[in-house]
Chains A and B, each alone.
Chain A
Amino acid sequence: MKKDRQNYYFIVVNKTGGLQFFSQLKEQYREDQDKITTNQVLQASSIFYAIDHLTQTIIPDAIYKVEQDKDKDFERDNAIDLLITENYMVSTLKTLTGLRFLVISNKNLEVPKKHEDNIQKMRQIYRLYTDYFSKDPFQSDDQPLGEKKRAQFDRDVRELLDF
């Protein structure tokens, strides 16, 4: 019996807005449906990166005043946490190093709880990420993973997100 999978995509955007990793978790139900293309995801990554910067520039005055009292170098990074549409949601985790992990999942009634859950899972994936990306001296930021590592990372990610 097929599990009711709630997570659709997992994306990693690097610190310059390029797509670093993409995994399609939920299978397509309809045979004739066009699969999402890598180019579309590439474009989506750079647009997301740009929007993320937007929220850091339109900080409301009231909030800005509170932040002003703090050490200017340690202000809250107002990056996007969660995007909600009518049918799905995008949970984001931004690391201090500028990486962004995105989980696109089904929107059910308990959005805050699911979002918290997604964030926790992404923190675990972050630990795996360092194994696959940071520790390989030949792996650079703008290069996609090699085939073998890609398959392994994909398996690990699916295990964590395909509950």
Chain B
Amino acid sequence: MQIRKSNKVVVNRIEKVNSELLTLTYGAIVSQIIKDSDTVIEANEQLEKMGFNIGQRIIDEYLSKAEIKQCRDKIDVAENIGKGAMQMFLGVTAEVEVLPETDKIFTFNLHFTENPLNDFVELPEHLQGLNYSNMIAGAIRGALSTIHWIATCRFLKDQLKNDDKTILQVEMIREKFKDDE
């Protein structure tokens, strides 16, 4: 049963923009945030917060263009994020690795072999603690928050830190409403 239209059909509906513009714009944002922040931790937080706001808005865009009616299960959610949304917005797909569920927390890793935000970027010595693509982490958290999933996203490995691929770990748990037992 096909829940999601094939990626090709969806991607062709999207107007494309020069990826260099995306790389440059993102780079400019990161530079400015670093200048405005006292510590690398603060910069990471700022990036994540910006991503969160984007995520809350971008989810409607994804759901409407990809014509998602209902996700079957958690794995379907993970695939929509790693393959559907990543393809639509960044033009790359991430491999989804599902980890065992513990305590109702569903965990999965997204393996990125390429990332347009990272193009041409090299992290200097004093910024080795910076999670350059933290906006993506925030965006996933923001998007999930609108559909009542509380998520935490963090980078386990980063290609900018000399790892062979970038791994983003997402832990998500259903948000319980106050009147649920």
Q: Chain A residues in contact with chain B, CB under 8 A?
A: 71, 73-74, 76-77, 95-99, 123, 126-127, 129-130, 133-135, 137
Contacts and interface: CB of A to CB of B under 8 A. Distances in A.
B65 interface: yes
A127 B63 CA distance: 9
B63 A96 contact: yes
B146 A97 contact: yes
Chain B's interface: helix, strand, loop or mixed, by majority? helix
Nearest to A127: B64
B60 interface: yes
B174 A73 contact: yes
B122 interface: no
A94 to B, nearest CB: 10
12 contacts: A71-B73, A71-B74, A73-B174, A74-B74, A96-B71, A96-B147, A97-B59, A97-B63, A97-B146, A123-B67, A134-B60, A137-B53
A129 B65 CA distance: 11
A98 B174 CA distance: 15
Nearest to A98: B146
B31 to A, nearest CB: 20
A97 B57 contact: no
A74 B72 contact: yes
A74 B60 CA distance: 18
A137 B53 CA distance: 9
Interface in B34-81: 53, 57-61, 63-65, 67-68, 70-74
Contacts of A127: 64-65
B146 to A, nearest CB: 5
Contact of B71 (A74, A99, A134): A74
Contact of B60 (A77, A130, A137): A130
B72 A126 contact: no
B63 A74 contact: no
A126 B57 CA distance: 13
Contacts of A71: 73-74
A74 B73 contact: yes
Nearest to A70: B73
B67 A96 contact: no
A97 B146 CA distance: 6
B58 A97 contact: no
Contacts of B61: 130, 134-135
A36 B22 CA distance: 47
A77 B147 CA distance: 12
A123 B64 contact: yes
A97 B56 CA distance: 9
Given A71-B74, A74-B71, A96-B147, 9 more contacts: A95-B60, A96-B70, A97-B59, A97-B63, A98-B146, A123-B67, A126-B60, A134-B57, A135-B57
| Most A C-beta atoms less than 10 A away, residue of B53, B64, B67, B68 | B64
A127 B72 CA distance: 22
- Give the 9 A-B CB pairs with smallest separation, nearest first: A134-B57, A126-B64, A130-B61, A127-B64, A130-B60, A73-B174, A134-B60, A97-B146, A71-B73
Contact of A96 (B57, B58, B68, B73): B68
B134 to A, nearest CB: 19
